[in-house]
């Protein structure tokens, strides 16, 4: 059985697509069963016909539409809506598509401020900061896909691990809906939680965590949160370690920052994390700032411009 796929990237970085390529030799197997009808990163199918002759956007119909990236400008919105109308199933690939991802950090600022800063840096020549077609106008906010079109399958992760992509694709080829873990990063983390110790403050990640010797396995190292580092493991969806399970940042002895998005699809990692810290007696004011707790989930109107923060942040 062959499944037709149309793939697009919107407000994205291409990491999700490269993670697909990182299936390695499994990719060659998948390609036996998948027929791409549109995928700009690999294939020269054009939006308006091969010589630009068609008046309207025209992406062929497909069984599955895979979209990475959120929606930041008018072109993204148009392509997302068009793919929705051409595909039976829409997959939101990666945290930008499911929750806004890193680019939705921009939602802390009015869109004019973005343009203003980007086009007045110290090396930039004077310019009117006005753009003309075909450059698409920016929308007011960076949104997740499901704020604009219906989404059937969510595959969060920045990027999603190739092992997870492989099982999701295999499920789709078998006509099943891919399932995601309902656990948190902490639930899959091998480090040692002693549950004791009177932590009252968090430290910034300015030194490496403590462990006995360079080769000490992770299941002998103490939990990073218990060592006093902010780690988003408790509120972040599990799965980043792929088949090996161990969360990827923890494997490098670095705390989690939440790139798989909230454990519950519509959770708010900032509120959940602040609550968890406060109920454990940790002074949340020891954190240098809060928007970073929404580093990957700033869409769905969770991050907004705040007048007070904008005033405080004046260049020296």
Binding piece for ligand SF4, criterion CB under 6 A, among 93-101, 122-130, 137-145, 220-228: 93-101
Binding piece for another protein, criterion CB under 8 A, among 171-179, 183-191, 208-216, 264-272: 208-216
Q: Which is nearer to ligand SF4, 169 or 240 (CB)?
A: 240
Q: Which of 158, 155, 165 is nearest to 13 (CA)?
A: 158
Among 185, 186, 270, 302, binds ligand SF4 (CB under 6 A): 185
Q: Is 205 in the site for another protein (CB under 8 A)?
A: yes
Both tokens of residue 191?
A: 């480090």
Q: Is 55 in the site for another protein (CB under 8 A)?
A: no
- For the bound state, the minimum distance from the C-beta of residue 15 to ligand SF4, rounded and expressed in Å, comes to 3
Measured distance CA(224)–CA(229) in Å, rounded = 6
Residue 154 in 3-state DSSP?
A: strand
Can you name the residues that pair with 7 across neighbouring β-strands?
A: 66
Measured distance CA(173)–CA(168) in Å, rounded = 9
Contacts of 140 (CB under 8 A, 6+ apart): 111
Among 6, 7, 12, 71, binds another protein (CB under 8 A): 12
Give the x/- contact pattern for another protein in 214-253, rule: CB under 8 A. xx--------------------------------xxxxxx
Give the x/- contact pattern for ligand SF4 in 214-253, rule: CB under 6 A. ----------------------x---x------xxxx---
- 165: number of CA atoms within 13 Å, CB side? 24
Among 66, 138, 145, 238, binds another protein (CB under 8 A): 138
Q: Which residue has the tokens 């969360």?
A: 247
Do residues 154 and 259 touch, judged by C-beta distance below 8 A? no
Both tokens of residue 110?
A: 């009015």
Q: How many residues belong to the site for another protein (CB under 8 A)?
A: 91
Quote the radius of gyration of the chain (alpha carbons, Å): 21
- Name the binder of 135 from ligand SF4, another protein, none, CB < 5-8 A by kind: another protein
Measured distance CA(10)–CA(184) in Å, rounded = 28
Residues that bind ligand SF4 (CB under 6 A): 12-13, 15-16, 68-69, 94-96, 101-102, 158-159, 185, 236, 240, 247-250, 256-260
């Amino acid at each position: 059985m062959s499944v037709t796929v149309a793939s697009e990237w919107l407000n994205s970085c291409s990491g999700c697509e490269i993670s697909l390529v990182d299936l390695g030799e499994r990719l060659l197997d998948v390609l036996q069963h998948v027929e791409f009808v549109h995928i700009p990163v690999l294939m020269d199918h054009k939006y308006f016909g091969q010589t630009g002759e068609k008046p309207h956007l025209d992406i062929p119909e497909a069984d599955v539409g895979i979209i990475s990236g959120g929606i930041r400008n008018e072109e993204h919105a148009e392509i997302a809506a068009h793919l929705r109308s051409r595909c039976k199933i829409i997959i939101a690939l990666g945290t930008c598509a499911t929750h806004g991802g890193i680019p939705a950090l921009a939602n802390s600022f009015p869109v004019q401020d973005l343009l203003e800063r980007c086009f007045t840096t110290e090396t930039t020549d004077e310019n009117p900061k006005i753009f003309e077609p075909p450059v698409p106008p920016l929308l007011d906010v960076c949104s997740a896909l499901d704020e604009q079109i219906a989404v059937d399958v969510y595959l969060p992760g920045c990027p999603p691990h190739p092992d997870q992509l492989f099982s999701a694709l295999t499920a789709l080829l078998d006509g099943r809906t891919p399932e995601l873990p309902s656990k948190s990063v902490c639930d899959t983390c091998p480090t040692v939680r002693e549950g004791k110790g009177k932590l009252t403050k968090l430290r910034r990640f300015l030194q490496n965590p403590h462990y006995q010797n360079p080769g000490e396995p992770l299941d002998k190292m103490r939990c990073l949160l218990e060592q006093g580092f902010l780690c988003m493991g408790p509120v972040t969806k599990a799965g980043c370690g792929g088949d090996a399970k161990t969360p990827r940042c923890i494997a490098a002895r670095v705390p989690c920052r939440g790139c798989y998005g909230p454990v519950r699809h519509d959770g708010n990692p900032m509120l959940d994390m602040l609550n968890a810290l406060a109920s454990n007696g940790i002074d949340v004011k020891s954190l240098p700032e809060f928007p970073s707790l929404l580093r990957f989930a700033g869409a769905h109107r969770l991050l907004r411009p705040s007048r007070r923060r904008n005033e405080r942040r004046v260049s020296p």
